[in-house]
Amino acid sequence: MAKVISFNTREDGVHHFIFDNEKELFLIGTAHISANSVKLVESVITEIQPDTIAVELDKRRLDVLQNQKRYKETDVVEILKSKKVLFFAAQLMLTAYQKKMAKKTGVMPGAEFKKAVEMAAESGAKIVTADRDISITLKRTFNEMTLKEKAGLLGGMLLGSDDEDIDEEKIEELKNADTLTQLIGEMGEALPSVKRVILDERDTYLATQIVNNLGTKTVAVVGAAHVPGIIKHFEEKLEELTVDKLERIEFLPQKTRTKKIIPWVIPLVILALFVYGFFLGDMKATGTAALYWIGINGVLSALGALLALGHPLTIITAFVAAPITSLNPTIGAGMVTGLVQLWIVKPTVSDMEKVGDDASSLKGWYRNRLTRMLLVALLSSVGSAIGTFVAIPFLMKYLT
C-alpha cells in the first residue's frame, strides 16, 4: 500500500497528495448544486491533465448520467408487488430535495460529475466510479434506521418548506470545513443511523476506491461533506483501505428466521381467537368481534386512501381488502390499493417524466398520478396497520 509523503491544500481549496510511488491525487470537494464547483472541476482537470478521474458515482448512476434514463422506465407494478413503495418513495424524495435546491441556483444536481465525465471522455482519461451502489446505501440506511428516524427523515423531506432562502453564497459556505463539521455533528445527533451509513461508511468506501485506483495523476471529485473523512482515512488508516475490507459495508443482512416469523405472529393470534370464538365461544360475540375487525381495519385503510385522494373505487377496495390482507403478511393492503389506483388512474408519460420534480412538494405528490398512487399505497397500508392494533383489544374483549 502506498504512503502519503506530501499533503497540502491549494489556494483554490483543492487537496493535493503525493504518494511514495510518485503518484499524485488532487481531491476536489464540491457542492452538488454549485456553479462554482463545476467551474473548479473544469479548471483543475484542464490544468492537471489527469490520466485518471474518480467521481462520487456508482456504475448505475454513471449510466443514468450518460444515458439520461427517466423514471418512465420504472416497473411500478413490480415495486408494489415487492413491497418497495416506501423505498422507492424515499429515492424520489432524496432526488427531489436536491432538485428543489437546484431550482434556486440554476444548477442541476451532479453537474460537476457530469463535467468531469465529459472531460474524461474527451481526453481519454480512465473513469473510476468510486461510490457504493446507491441501492445498497439506501437499503442499509433503512435497515439501520429506527421507526422514529424514518418518520423524521421522510416527513421532513416531504413537508419541507419551498420558501427556504438558498443562494449560491450559502451553498459555497457549506463547503467550509467548520460549517460541515457542525452540520455533520447535528446529523449525527438527530439521525445517527443516517450519518453512519450515508456519510461515514461512504467516506471509507470512497477513500478505498480512490487510493486503489490511482493513476499517475488522479483528480477525484466528491461532495465536500466527504472530504474531511477521506483525508482522515489517508492520514490515519491508509494501510487499512483494501478492497477486500469493503465487504462489511456492502453486506445486506438476510432476514433471520425470527424476523421472518414475526410478521405471521399477529395474524395467527387473530385467526386463533376467531377459531376459538367460533368453536368454543359465544357465536354472537364472535360475530360482533368480526364486525369490529372489518369495520376498524377497513375504515382506517379507506381513510388512508381517502387522505391520498385515491379514486372512489380505490377507497372502496381499501375497505374491502384491508381486513383480509391484514391476515396475510405476503399481501399488503397497499399492494392491492396501489394496483387498483394504477389501473383506474393510469400515469401518463408526462407524469413519469415530471415525477422527480413533483416529488419535491406535497402539492406535487398529489398532482402527479404516479406519486399519488404511491401515497395511496403508503397511507392505506399505514391505516390498515393502525387498524390491526386498534382492533385487537376489541377482539380480546369479545373472543376471550
pLDDT of the chain along its 400 residues, tens only? 678 889 999 999 999 999 988 899 999 998 766 778 899 999 999 999 999 999 999 988 887 666 655 555 556 676 776 666 766 776 676 666 666 655 665 556 678 999 999 999 999 999 999 999 888 887 888 777 777 766 666 565 555 544 455 555 655 555 555 544 555 555 556 667 778 888 899 999 999 999 999 999 999 999 888 999 999 999 988 888 998 888 888 887 666 676 667 777 778 878 887 777 777 667 787 888 889 899 999 999 999 999 999 999 999 999 999 999 988 877 889 899 999 998 998 888 777 777 777 777 788 889 988 889 989 998 999 899 999 889 888 887 777 7
d(CA 236, CA 11): 24
Say if 89 falls within a structural domain: no
148 and 42 co-located in one domain: yes
Say if 94 falls within a structural domain: no
Sheet holding 15-19, edge to edge: 4-9, 15-19, 24-30, 217-223, 52-55, 126-129
**Residue keyed to cell 459556505:** 173
216 and 68 co-located in one domain: yes
Say if 83 falls within a structural domain: no
Q: What is the DSSP letter of 388?
A: H
299 and 210 co-located in one domain: no
Report the number of distinct structural domains present in the chain: 2
Q: Which of 249, 274, 289 is at the close of a domain?
A: 249
Say if 183 falls within a structural domain: yes
220 and 127 co-located in one domain: yes
Say if 271 falls within a structural domain: yes
43 and 167 co-located in one domain: yes
Q: Which of 217, 249, 281 is at the close of a domain?
A: 249
135 and 242 co-located in one domain: yes
Q: Which of 228, 249, 270 is at the close of a domain?
A: 249
Domain range for 304 = 257-399
67 and 214 co-located in one domain: yes
Sheet strands (E) in the chain: 4-9, 15-19, 24-30, 52-55, 126-129, 217-223
28 and 159 co-located in one domain: yes
The cell numbers describing 89, all together, are 418513495
